[in-house]
C-alpha cells in the first residue's frame, strides 16, 4: 500500500504527472480492444473529518492514507506522520525536523506495512524505517538514483514501495522502460513498461517553460508515470497517454486500458489555452488527468483532474479491468491551479477521504460501491 502523489511543492517540474483524457477501453493481451462499460454514481453527503484550523495535531497535511483502523496523514507543517482512528481521535505521531537520525526535511513518501513504516525524505534522498510505535529502526541515505545513476537530476520526487526493501521508481524512459522495481537489499533493478519517448538525461527548465507557453507537453515529461501498488498488483498510469496498466510484483504486464472520461474531453485544450495566454510570471497549469491514485486489494481509484467548476470525480477500475465507475462528489471541487491533492479509500470500502491541501482540511464521504 502506498500514499500516492505525496508530492511536494518543489519546483522540479519533471515530477509533474500528465495524462491525456480519452474513453476507457480494455486492451486484451493479444491486442484486441473492447469498450469498457461506464457506470456513474453521485455522492451528496460530505463531512469535514479533520481540519488544521481546528485540530492542533495537524499543521500542513500533504497526503493521507486510509487503513483498516483509521487514517494516516503526512504533515509537512510538523514534519511528522500522524495517525487517527475512524472517529478522528489521535493515536500516534512520530518524526521531527532535522538532518539527524530519524529526522526529516521533506516527506515525499510514506507507506504503512505490517508492524513497521517506511518514510521517504526527498531532500536527503533518505529512506527511514520505523516500528509500529514510531521508533526508528533503520535509515539509509542513497548517493545516487539506482535506476538513473548518471543523471544530474536523478533523485526521484515520486515513487512507490512494495515493501520496506523493494521500491518502484519511474525511469524517465531509460533502457526503453517506464519504471523499475528496485531491491534495496541486493541492489537488483528490473526495468519494465515500454517508454513513450527517448530518455532525456538533463532537465532544461527554459525548454520546459517554453513548451508550456506554446501549449505543449515538454518532451522530458513524455515517459513519466503515476505508480500505486497493493499486496497483489502494481498499477501504473502513463502520464502523457492516459494508459492505465496492471503488473504483477515481478513486473509482468497483466492488462492495460486507455482512459477517456467524457467530462475531460476538452481538458487539455483548456489547459493549453490557459498556458499560451499566461504572462511570463503567471502560474502555468499542468497537463494531467489524475491528481492522486490509490490501489486497493480489488482495484484502483483515480482522483481525476477536472475542468474548472466541475465536481470532484473519482474513477474506480476493478482488478480485472473490465468496468469503470465514475463517482461525482457534488459538494467538492478541485483547485484548477493545484498539482496534487490527497485522496484515499478505506480498505473496507465504506468511506473515502479527500485532502484539500490549500486549506489543510480532510473531508470524508461514503464510498458508493
pLDDT tens digit string along 302-350? 999 888 889 999 999 999 999 999 999 999 999 877 767 899 999 999 9
pLDDT tens digit string along 112-125? 999 999 999 998 88
- Across 16-30, 338-352, 353-367, the highest mean pLDDT is recorded for 353-367
DSSP 8-state code for residue 203: -
Q: What is the pTM of this model?
A: 0.88
Within-domain flag for 105: yes
Alpha helices in the chain (DSSP H): 205-213, 267-277
pLDDT tens digit string along 255-269? 999 888 888 888 889
Domain that holds residue 183: 13-366
Within-domain flag for 243: yes
Collapsed DSSP state (helix, strand, coil) of residue 259: coil
Within-domain flag for 4: no
Question: What local confidence, expressed as pLDDT, does residue 270 receive?
Answer: 92
The count of structural domains within the chain is: 1
Lowest mean pLDDT among 39-48, 151-160, 189-198, 308-317: 151-160
pLDDT tens digit string along 281-303? 678 888 888 999 999 999 999 99
Within-domain flag for 112: yes
CATH number at residue 111: 2.120.10.30
Give the cell for residue 315. Answer: 474513477
- Quickly tell me which residue has 523493494 as its cell: 166
Within-domain flag for 313: yes
Lowest mean pLDDT among 236-245, 248-257, 357-366: 236-245
Question: What local confidence, expressed as pLDDT, does residue 85 receive?
Answer: 97
Contact 361, 355 (CB under 8 A): yes
The set of residues, in sequence order, having a beta carbon less than 8 Å from that of 145 and lying 6+ positions away, is: 151, 154, 155, 156, 169
Amino acid at each position: 500500500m502506498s500514499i500516492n502523489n505525496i508530492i511536494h511543492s518543489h519546483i522540479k517540474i519533471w515530477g509533474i504527472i500528465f495524462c491525456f483524457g480519452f474513453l476507457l477501453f480494455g486492451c486484451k493481451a493479444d491486442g484486441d480492444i473492447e469498450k469498457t462499460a461506464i457506470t456513474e454514481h453521485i455522492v451528496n453527503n460530505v463531512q469535514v473529518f479533520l481540519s488544521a484550523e481546528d485540530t492542533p495535531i495537524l499543521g500542513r497535511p500533504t497526503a493521507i492514507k486510509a487503513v483498516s483502523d483509521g487514517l494516516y496523514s503526512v504533515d509537512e507543517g510538523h514534519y511528522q506522520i500522524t495517525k487517527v482512528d475512524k472517529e478522528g481521535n489521535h493515536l500516534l505521531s512520530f518524526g521531527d525536523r532535522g538532518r539527524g537520525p530519524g529526522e526529516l526535511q521533506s516527506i515525499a513518501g510514506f507507506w504503512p506495512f505490517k508492524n513497521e513504516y517506511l518514510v521517504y525524505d526527498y531532500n536527503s534522498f533518505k529512506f527511514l524505517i520505523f516500528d509500529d510505535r514510531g521508533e526508528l529502526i533503520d535509515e539509509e541515505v542513497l548517493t545516487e538514483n539506482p535506476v538513473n545513476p548518471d543523471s544530474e537530476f536523478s533523485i526521484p520526487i515520486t515513487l512507490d514501495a512494495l515493501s520496506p526493501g523493494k521500491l518502484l521508481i519511474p525511469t524517465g524512459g531509460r533502457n526503453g522502460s517506464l519504471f523499475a522495481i528496485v531491491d534495496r537489499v541486493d541492489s537488483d533493478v528490473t526495468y519494465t513498461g515500454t517508454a513513450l519517448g527517448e530518455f532525456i538525461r538533463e532537465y532544461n527548465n527554459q525548454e520546459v517553460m517554453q513548451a508550456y507557453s506554446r501549449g505543449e507537453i515538454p518532451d522530458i515529461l513524455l515517459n513519466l508515470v503515476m505508480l500505486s501498488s497493493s499486496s497483489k498488483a502494481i498499477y501504473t498510469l502513463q502520464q502523457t497517454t492516459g494508459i492505465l496498466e496492471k503488473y504483477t510484483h515481478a513486473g509482468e504486464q497483466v492488462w492495460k486500458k486507455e482512459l477517456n472520461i467524457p467530462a475531460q474531453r476538452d481538458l487539455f485544450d483548456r489547459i493549453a489555452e490557459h498556458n499560451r495566454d499566461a504572462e511570463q510570471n503567471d502560474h502555468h497549469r499542468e497537463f494531467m488527468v489524475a491528481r492522486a491514485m490509490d490501489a486497493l486489494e480489488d482495484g484502483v481509484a483515480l482522483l481525476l483532474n477536472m475542468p474548472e467548476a466541475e465536481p470532484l470525480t473519482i474513477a474506480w477500475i476493478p482488478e480485472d479491468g473490465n468496468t469503470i465507475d465514475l463517482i461525482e462528489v457534488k459538494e467538492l471541487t478541485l483547485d484548477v491551479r493545484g498539482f496534487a491533492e490527497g485522496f484515499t479509500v478505506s480498505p473496507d470500502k465504506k468511506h473515502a477521504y479527500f485532502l484539500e491541501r490549500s486549506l489543510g482540511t480532510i473531508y470524508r464521504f461514503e464510498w458508493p460501491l
